[in-house]
Amino acid sequence: MQWRDTGLGFGIVTIILHWVGAITVIAFYVLDAARIGGWQDNAGLWAPVAVCTAVLCAFRLFWRYLWYLPLPLPGVAPLTVMVARAVAIALLLSGVILPLLGWLEFHWRPEGMAGGMVRLLHRLGLLAAILGLALHVAGALRQQFVLRNRALSRLLGARVDL
Amino acid sequence: MTESKAAALCGIDTPVFQAGMAGLAGPDLVAAVSEAGGLGHLGGLRQPPSLLRQWIRMVRERTNRPFGVNLVPAYGGPEVFEAQIQVVLEEKVPVLSLFYGDFTALLPRIRAAGVIGMVQVGSLAEARRAAAAGAHVVIAQGVEAGGHIRGRTPLCALLPAVSAALPDTPVLAAGGIVDAGSVRAARCLGADGVWAGTLFLATEESLAHEIYKQRLLRAGPDDTEFRTGYSFGWKYGTPHRVLPGRAGFNPLRLVGGGARRQDDASMAEKLSLYAGSGVGRIGDIRPARDRVAALAAGFEN
Ligand SMILES: Cc1cc2nc3c(=O)[nH]c(=O)nc-3n(C[C@H](O)[C@H](O)[C@H](O)COP(=O)(O)O)c2cc1C
């Protein structure tokens, strides 16, 4: 299997990073929400997961920029493709920005107006990211069960002839 | 009928070439144009290789006459482009037209495989490069053209310069060719044949959405816009000509694109749709053979 992405399919690096990233990002959302809500003191776990999330997402953005994206599968409307790509990029960006906002809020602890802004942005950002993730998952399920194409298989490493 | 080197080379009756238009020039249009004595080109850009192969076979089921495939490397990367080229060579498509790229390495390969290679260019320098690399035919695209535009020079300046510089290579005129009058004008400027896109969108056979076709018919001569912003699937800033989408709150107005039959009606209304500056002279939707005949009339002596 190829290591880099081409217009004909995903490479092994992207496939591994996608699934490892998915687990890390979801773990981060849960820990972040818990820490914001003050439900538990998870600072010891939050910090390493936040660092992993930020590094993974930053690398995936860089990797995505380096290579061509695989062609959309036949039958997917152009507008859907545009929205899906925008959501995917927004999710990766949020994986870099939210840990930074979290670090600012929990460790730098700014006061006054700046502190208020950071806390607001952090909460809104996390909410938007969770909604974006839900949209991303709904899109994947739609491809699998409504359009019945092989988008998911392609991200699991199956060779899909275009 | 005047002599045309390009028509003789391609084995067609009249030097009327229908531009390959991504997703919009499918097997029905291509077969109809070729059946009428011109040369149809499948719009191969963004077609996955397997679908391109299917389209080529569908053309062959509809006609025995020569036809072409149009490819653009700007989308999907070199692997997709190479896979598409492989399909064209394996299926022994008679003509391959190319746009928006450097084809110096590819053209000798195409020639060696017995395929006629045509390159659409937007400047004299690019025309010279294409001819030197082995293009059989060069298409001079003026800034009047619909869809993506390679250069910034009007056809009436580019065409005579390219024809004079390449006396041994047939040169086709592209951009605003919509009737016999524009064909005659292009011939006066040195064209050996014509390459038309927008006119063939307004046909029964094109895959353009019905609303797209109606917007073409409603458009006047001043309605197209030259843009360098966002167009679907292309690098931001690539020049293109469109009919702007509906005014008011409509973010899709900022996006250039083509709306196909299977696309959403609201998208066909809102998007800024590719069209050339000759669109104001297109008044009806006709079968493609009528379009070929109308342009062929411009080659009568
Ligand atoms: C809707 C549309 C799609 C186009 N797509 C392509 C394409 O995929 N490949 C290409 O080489 N040229 C494409 N073009 C440009 C044509 O090759 C040609 O330059 C242009 O249509 C000529 O101008 P006219 O539209 O005024 O006839 C497209 C043009 C239009 C209008």
B56, two tokens: 């080529």
User: What's the structural domain count of chain B?
Assistant: 2
Residue A140: burial class (beta carbons within 10 Å; 0-12, 13-18, 19+): middle
Domain shared by B26 and B144, yes or no? yes
Sign of CA dihedral A118, A119, A124, A125: positive
Closest CA to B65 of B92, B97, B38, B88: B38
Q: Which of A8, A78, A161 sits opposite B79 (nearest CB)?
A: A8
A82 reaches B (C-beta below 8 A): yes
B19, two tokens: 């531009």
Q: In this structure, how many other beta carbons lie within 10 angstroms of the beta carbon of residue B56?
A: 22
B74 in Cβ contact with B234 (< 8 Å):
yes
Q: Domain-by-domain residue ranges, chain A? A: 12-154
Sign of CA dihedral A44, A47, A48, A49: positive
Residues of chain A falling short of pLDDT 50: none
pLDDT of residue A162: 81
pLDDT of residue B1: 63
pLDDT of residue A39: 81
**Mutate which of B21, B84, B274 for ligand 1 pocket (most atoms within 8 A of beta carbon):** B21
Domain shared by B43 and B147, yes or no? yes
Q: How far apart are CA B242 and CA A121, in angstroms?
A: 39
Q: Is the CB of B242 under 6 A from ligand 1?
A: no
Strands (DSSP E) found in B86-243 = 95-99, 116-121, 137-141, 147-148, 171-174, 193-196, 225-227, 230-231, 240-243
A83 reaches B (C-beta below 8 A): no
User: From the CA of B51, how far away is ligand 1's center (Å)?
Assistant: 20
B247 in Cβ contact with B261 (< 8 Å):
no
Domain shared by B83 and B163, yes or no? yes
Chain B residue closest in CA terms to A73:
B48
Domain shared by B38 and B60, yes or no? yes
Question: What is the C-alpha R_g of chain A?
Answer: 17
Domain shared by B275 and B292, yes or no? no
Complex ipTM value? 0.78
Domain shared by B85 and B126, yes or no? yes
Nearest atom in ligand 1 to the alpha carbon of residue B43 is 8
The count of CB pairs under 8 A between chains A and B is: 43
- Residues in chain B with CB shorter than 8 Å from the CB of A78 are 232-233, 257, 263, 267
Domain shared by B248 and B161, yes or no? no
User: From the CA of B197, how far away is ligand 1's center (Å)?
Assistant: 5
Closest CA to B39 of B160, B196, B251: B196
CA dihedral of residues A102, A103, A106, A112 (deg, nearest 10): -90
Q: How far apart are CA B116 and CA B125, in angstroms?
A: 21
pLDDT of residue B52: 96
User: From the CA of B201, how far away is ligand 1's center (Å)?
Assistant: 10
Q: Spell out a b/e string for A4-41, using b for 16 or more CB atoms within 10 Å of the CB, else e.
A: ebbbbbbbebbbebeeebbebbebbbebbeebeeeeee
Chain B residue closest in CA terms to A75:
B262
Taking only the tens place, the pLDDT of each residue in A34-50 is 999 888 778 889 999 99
Give the contacts of A17 (CB within 8 A, at least 6 positions apart). Answer: A56, A59, A60, A63
Domain that holds residue B167: 5-205+282-299
What is the pTM assigned to this prediction?
A: 0.89
Domain shared by B263 and B160, yes or no? no
User: CA A37 → CA A91, A104, B128, distances in Å?
Assistant: 22, 16, 67
Q: Which of B48, B75, B233 sits opposite A162 (nearest CB)?
A: B48
Q: How far apart are CA A42 and CA A32, in angstroms?
A: 9
Domain shared by B123 and B185, yes or no? yes
Angle at CA of residue B221, ends B220 and B226, nearest 5°:
110
pLDDT of residue A97: 97
pLDDT of residue A68: 92
Residues of chain B falling short of pLDDT 70: 1
Q: How far apart are CA B174 and CA B191, in angstroms?
A: 9
CATH number for the domain that contains residue B169? 3.20.20.70
DSSP class of residue B36? Answer: T
